[in-house]
Structure formats: structure tokens, C-alpha cells
Homo-oligomer: A and B are copies of this chain.
Amino acid sequence: MAAEATYRRPEIRKDATHNRWVIFSQARALRPSNFKSKSDANPKSNNQSECPFCVGHEHECAPEIFRVPADSTSDWKIRVIQNLYPALNRELNFPSCPSDSSHWSGDVAVSGFGFHDVVIESPVHPVHLADLSPAQVGDVLLAYKTRIDQLRTFDSIKYVQVFKNHGASAGASMSHSHSQIMALPVVPSAVSARIESMKEFFEQTGKYSDKAVDLGGLLKLMLVKMSLQLNNPPFNFMIHTAPLQVNPSQVPSTHWFLQIVPQLSGVGGFEMGTGCYINPVFPEDGCESFERSPH
């Protein structure tokens, strides 16, 4: 952690060609991995003695933000901590312009101010999110909400992305069950485009998800079904929300949702070039077999 001082400060630059932000952060290069290789579903070791996220190893982690229950000691259920190799820098006295941009010929760059947290979802190594009870899964979702509400108080934070990587080929470097929260000083253009697109869809159809559901139970059900039917695939999930300062005209069409993406096949140059995806399964066929499955 002392080494952090020698990093170049992170920076966020606009890629003018693709109209998207890119975060440059040297700290990210140093993060360890406890998977043998990208294709391995199984980590190097399930040995608590090597994992900083396991109970009893709290001192090997970056500082804690809060734990659940709040007054717990070694009987904690969830810990929200700082990421030890953050993509963004949480120091508020950070200059608002990049210090050295002499090499950089682009037009837009902002300092890499922001927050990058880790949510440890279970105190013990082999227990994954899908193994928790519906109420415990609900507590993880509530921990996200609590942290988002804290991050919302910073005027300069414009968007919060909650996401989970499960399995090495879904990008995970740590096998202990966890998710991450990143708070950004910019609104990603994919987010603005999504908000705009949902607004259009809403105006044309009047449709949006209007059901209040027991989300902890539903998320557990989805994770268990996916694990059983697709043989515990690597997956990502993302919580898509509105930007923190949302335009009031967009309120009726803006709702948050959770997207789960199992990694069944990779992507290639076509998807990278066009942003279009190719899917060998029509959704109505996929739904049918999903609905028929045991639960």
C-alpha cells in the first residue's frame, strides 16, 4: 500500500473517435490473481490462509468502509472495503486537471478522482452469492444501496457502477465471492445512450418494468438456475441505474435494473467493431427451457 505514492495519478480521457471515456491507472497493473488461468473455473487454492477477503485476514485488505452487521466483530457477514489497486483515486484534494498532459493530444481529460470499492459478500471462501439465503442476498443488495447513498453526497460524482465478476474468464482476479462499486466523475456515454433510448422506448410504448419484486429472492433464484442449467458458468452482473443528477424529463422512463451475463461464448472482432452481438439462441427458445427447469 505504501507503493501507491509512486504511481502516476490516474486520469480519465475521452477517446474522441469512439466517444467513450478511458481510465488510465497504473495501480491496476499490480493486482494479484488467484486463478491459475483465464480458462480455469477453479482458483489456485481455496485455502483461507492465502485469501485477504477471508475472515481473519481483514488486516491484509485496504481500509474498511463499513461492515454488516454494523457492530459485528469476527462474525461479520458482509464487508465493504476500499480496493487496494484502485482505478480511481479517492483523495478529494486531487487537482481537477491532469498534471502532465504534454504528450496527450486529445481534447478532453479529467483527473481520475473517484471511488473504487470491493464488497466482500461472505466471510468464508467457498460460499458464493448463490449459496446465500434470499435474505442474505438481499443484504448484499442493501449494502450496495447504502454505499450508493454515501457516494451520492459527493457533488462531483456523476455515476455509480455496481458490478460483479464471477470466474476467471468473466474477468475475476479474486475467487472469493465479491462484487465492486465504482463511482465516476463523468457519465459514461453508454449510460447516456441507454437513458436516451429508454426514454424513446417509453414515449413510444408507455412500457417499463413496474413490478416491485423481492429482489434478494429473485436474484438467488436466477443465480441458482443459471448455475444448475449452464453448469456454473463464469458470469458478470451489472446494476444499471440513472446518472446521479438525472434530467427530470427522463424520470418516468428511468428505472434501475440488474443485468446478468453468463459467459457462454466469447466475443470477437465483429462485436468489438460494431457493438452488435451474435446469439445462436433465440430468446423465446431460451426462455422456454429456462421456465421448464426445476427450481
Contact = CB atoms under 8 A, between A and B. Distances in A.
B238 A273 contact: yes
Interface string A176-189: 00011010100011
Question: Main SS of chain A's interface residues?
Answer: mixed
A169 B266 contact: yes
A19 interface: yes
17 contacts: A18-B193, A20-B277, A25-B278, A25-B280, A29-B280, A38-B38, A87-B278, A103-B282, A103-B283, A161-B269, A161-B274, A165-B268, A169-B266, A179-B269, A190-B273, A191-B275, A236-B269
Given A163-B268, A163-B270, A236-B268, A197 B277 contact: no
A154 interface: no
Interface string A153-169: 00000010101110001
Interface of A: 8, 11, 16-29, 37-40, 87, 103-104, 107, 159, 161, 163-165, 169-172, 179-180, 182, 184, 188-191, 193-194, 196-198, 200-201, 204-205, 236-240, 257, 259, 261, 266-270, 272-284, 287
User: Copies per complex?
Assistant: 2
Given A17-B194, A205-B107, A268-B165, A282 B236 contact: no
Given A163-B270, A238-B272, A275-B190, A103 B284 contact: yes
A236 B272 contact: yes
Contact of A268 (B29, B172, B196): B172
A87 B11 CA distance: 39
A266 B171 contact: yes
A164 B269 contact: yes
A254 to B, nearest CB: 11
A17 B198 contact: yes
A24 B276 contact: no
A281 B7 CA distance: 11
